[in-house]
Amino acid sequence: MTPDNATTPTTPSYTPHPIPWRIATVMRIVQETPRVRTIVFDVPGWPGHRAGQHVDVRLTAEDGYQTERSYSIASPPEEAQLSLTIERLEDGEVSSYLVGELRVGDTIELRGPIGGHFVWDFPDGGPLVLVGGGSGIVPLMAMLRHRALASPELRRALPARLLYSSRAWGEVIYRDELARLGANDPTLEIVHTITREPPPSWTGFRRRIDRAMLEAFTGSAAERPRLYVCGPTPLVEAVADTLVAMNYDPATIRTERFGPTGGTG
């Protein structure tokens, strides 16, 4: 058994004051895939965040009924405006509103940033190995966008790989931006696997992430990469178990499990 100080957080984000609810105004909406939207907010007073953190969103109906959900932040710390990328869930009380109803100029309440474990910043080091499924790409994208803003020298010191599983090519979130990031950066490798409906000409992986794929992708355990795994629970369980079996130190594997972005709603 590991003593508890084995995972004592190295950079505690101890906040003595309450995290206030802030009014966020929708500035822009980007349709990423048929079911996924990025909403760009202006949030006066936003204190900044680290790549991988999330926010709580609160909606209020006319009769005062309120509900909350958590969503990962998609934008890098360097951007003044805050982006959330949200997948519309069947029957999702909040996601169907955010993806279906919300318009430019509308306001919602949010507070954050929240979460101090599934985060990556330059001092955390590399190599950075990211494994994502579906909308689990969102916090990983914040990390890649953050890294993309580093100097080429720093990027060379922090090589990164992304293995991203999607059901269909048309459901690959940030597809064009990922292609651009990969094309412009020899120290970034991006591999897709398309599990259900690969395009006819597809020559890449077309199965769920498995050990052979991870062995071809993650590099040596001796490099002690920083591993971040985010996606639906079955994917995260399978990938994290496999990485442990491949002798990666469990303490270097950070996970975030969800259905869709940040919650089941």
Partner 1 sequence: MTSPISRGFHGRRPAPGAGRLPPGQYETHDFPVLSEGPTPHTPLDKWSFTLVGAGGKKARWNWTEFEALPHEKLTTDIHCVTKWSKFGTAWSGVSIDALLAAGAAMGVEPAPYAVAASDGGYTTNVPLADLTHGQAWIAVGYDGEPLAAEHGGPARLLVPHLYFWKSAKWIRELRLLDHDSPGFWERLGYHNYGDPWREQRYTGDE
- Answer for the pair 21, 110: CB distance below 8 angstroms, yes or no: yes
CA distances from 23 to 45, 57, 63, 92, 249 (A): 9, 10, 19, 22, 41
**Shortest distance (Å) from residue 142 CB to partner 1:** 17
Query: Is residue 44 a contact point for partner 1 (CB under 8 A)?
Result: no
Q: Closer CB to partner 1, residue 175 or residue 208?
A: 208
Query: Is residue 221 a contact point for partner 1 (CB under 8 A)?
Result: no
Bridge partners (DSSP) listed for residue 24: 108
Query: Is residue 138 a contact point for partner 1 (CB under 8 A)?
Result: no
SS3 call for 165: strand
**Burial (CB count within 10 angstroms: exposed 0-12, middle 13-18, buried 19+), residue 81:** middle
DSSP 206-253: -S---HHHHHHHS--GGG--EEEEEESHHHHHHHHHHHHHTT--GGGE
The rounded distance, in Å, linking the Cα atoms of 145 and 142 is 5
Query: Is residue 60 a contact point for partner 1 (CB under 8 A)?
Result: yes
Query: Is residue 110 a contact point for partner 1 (CB under 8 A)?
Result: no
Q: 248: which residues sit within 8 A by CB, 6+ positions away?
A: 218, 221, 225, 227
Q: Closer CB to partner 1, residue 128 or residue 181?
A: 128
**Interaction with partner 1 in 70-89: which residues (CB under 8 A)?**
70
Q: Closer CB to partner 1, residue 18 or residue 44?
A: 18
- The alpha carbon torsion through 242, 244, 246, 249 (nearest 10 deg) reads 150
Cα within 13 Å of Cα(40), Cβ side: 11
Q: Which stretch binds partner 1 (CB under 8 A): 29-37, 105-113, 144-152, 211-219?
A: 105-113
Query: Is residue 7 a contact point for partner 1 (CB under 8 A)?
Result: yes
Query: Is residue 118 a contact point for partner 1 (CB under 8 A)?
Result: yes
Out of 69, 145, 146, 155, the only residue in the binding site for partner 1 (CB under 8 A) is 69
Q: Which stretch binds partner 1 (CB under 8 A): 32-40, 132-140, 183-191, 239-247?
A: 239-247
- Answer for the pair 94, 164: CB distance below 8 angstroms, yes or no: no
**Shortest distance (Å) from residue 180 CB to partner 1:** 32
Query: Is residue 210 a contact point for partner 1 (CB under 8 A)?
Result: no
Give the binding site for partner 1 (CB under 8 A): 1-4, 6-9, 12-19, 21, 23, 56, 58-62, 65-70, 93, 97, 101-102, 106-109, 114-118, 233, 237, 240-241, 243-244, 250-251, 253-255, 257-259, 262-265
